[in-house]
């Protein structure tokens, strides 16, 4: 067996190092994960940009809503609007190298007319016990340069409520993470309404939770409003 290099040792994550964040609201989750990154994140880079990151975070939002007081007060409204367009506009996203938007990936998969959100509704309507109401944003034939941060959405009914589990390879909790969560909550609410079920928890498993160095000062000022 080959011994791990020093670099491998630096990035290895043991189970006890993995972060679990459990909050009531999306805004609280944003603040908690951002604080974890700012206080114990490791210096790294993403696409050449300096950042601090925490590996393997699981955040659980017990009451995900489509609006949030903390986000309305402290988030960048332009970022929120940009993410909303990404989830609702079928045009390609120029900021991402003209990659397909989340709207296309979820509601017109690969341009083939498949509405995956509608498919989830019908799958859970026909089988409320299904554990495979799972959809993806990955489009392997066209995603040759850009890989969407959020790649898997997995819905299931538990105790009568609709839960959602999401996997993301990377989430920027400085400027966009809160907007991702709001849009995912919006889809969760839509599916729950179609099924006539209450909304359950929203869980996001994030391999790399990070804040770019360019946003560090701003995030520190936001966190000052939430003393531990």
Q: What is the pTM of this model?
A: 0.91
Strands 133-136 and 49-61: unpaired
| CA distance linking residue 216 with residue 56, whole number of Å | 20
Give whole-number Cα distances, 172 to 15, 133, 165, 223, in Å: 22, 27, 18, 16
Q: Which residue has the tokens 């080959």?
A: 2
DSSP 12: -
Could you tell me if 82 and 91 are in contact, meaning their C-beta atoms sit under 8 angstroms apart? Answer: no
Return the CATH number at 157.
3.30.572.10
Whether 140 is in a domain gets the answer yes
Q: Is the pLDDT of residue 134 over 80?
A: yes
Whether 11 is in a domain gets the answer no
Q: Which are the contacts of 117, defined by CB distance < 8 A and separation ≥ 6?
A: 106, 107, 135, 187, 190, 191
Whether 50 is in a domain gets the answer no
Whether 158 is in a domain gets the answer yes
Whether 224 is in a domain gets the answer no
| CA distance linking residue 163 with residue 192, whole number of Å | 9
Whether 109 is in a domain gets the answer yes
Q: pLDDT digit string (tens) for 142-165? A: 998 899 999 999 999 999 999 999
Q: Is the pLDDT of residue 14 over 80?
A: no
What's the confidence (pLDDT) of residue 19?
86
Q: pLDDT digit string (tens) for 180-208? A: 999 999 999 999 999 999 999 999 999 99
Q: Which domain holds residue 158?
A: 17-27+57-206
Whether 180 is in a domain gets the answer yes
Q: pLDDT digit string (tens) for 38-82? A: 999 999 999 999 999 999 999 999 999 999 999 999 999 999 999
* Number of compact structural domains in the chain: 1
Could you tell me if 105 and 139 are in contact, meaning their C-beta atoms sit under 8 angstroms apart? Answer: yes
What's the confidence (pLDDT) of residue 3?
45
Q: Phi then psi for 58, rounded to 5 degrees?
A: -115, 120
What's the confidence (pLDDT) of residue 179?
98
Q: Which are the contacts of 131, defined by CB distance < 8 A and separation ≥ 6?
A: 156
Whether 119 is in a domain gets the answer yes
């Amino acid at each position: 067996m080959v011994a791990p290099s020093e670099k491998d040792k630096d990035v290895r994550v043991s189970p006890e190092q993995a972060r679990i964040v459990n909050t009531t609201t999306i805004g609280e989750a944003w603040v908690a994960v951002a604080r974890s990154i700012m206080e114990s994140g490791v210096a790294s880079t993403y696409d050449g940009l300096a950042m601090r990151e925490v590996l393997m975070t699981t955040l659980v939002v017990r009451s995900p809503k489509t609006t949030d007081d903390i986000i309305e007060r402290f988030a960048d409204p332009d970022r929120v609007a940009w993410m909303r367009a990404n989830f609702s506009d079928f045009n390609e996203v120029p900021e991402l190298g003209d990659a397909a938007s989340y709207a296309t990936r979820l509601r017109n998969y690969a341009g083939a007319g498949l509405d995956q959100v509608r498919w989830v509704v019908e799958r859970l309507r026909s089988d409320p016990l299904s554990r495979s109401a799972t959809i993806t944003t990955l489009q392997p034939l066209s995603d040759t340069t850009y890989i969407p941060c959020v790649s898997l959405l997995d819905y299931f009914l538990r105790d009568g409520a609709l839960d959602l589990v999401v996997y993301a390879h990377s989430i920027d909790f400085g400027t966009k993470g809160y907007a991702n969560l709001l849009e995912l909550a919006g889809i969760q609410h839509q599916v729950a309404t179609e099924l006539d079920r209450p909304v359950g928890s929203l869980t996001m498993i994030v391999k790399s939770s990070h804040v770019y160095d360019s946003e560090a000062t701003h995030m520190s000022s936001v966190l000052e409003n939430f003393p531990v």
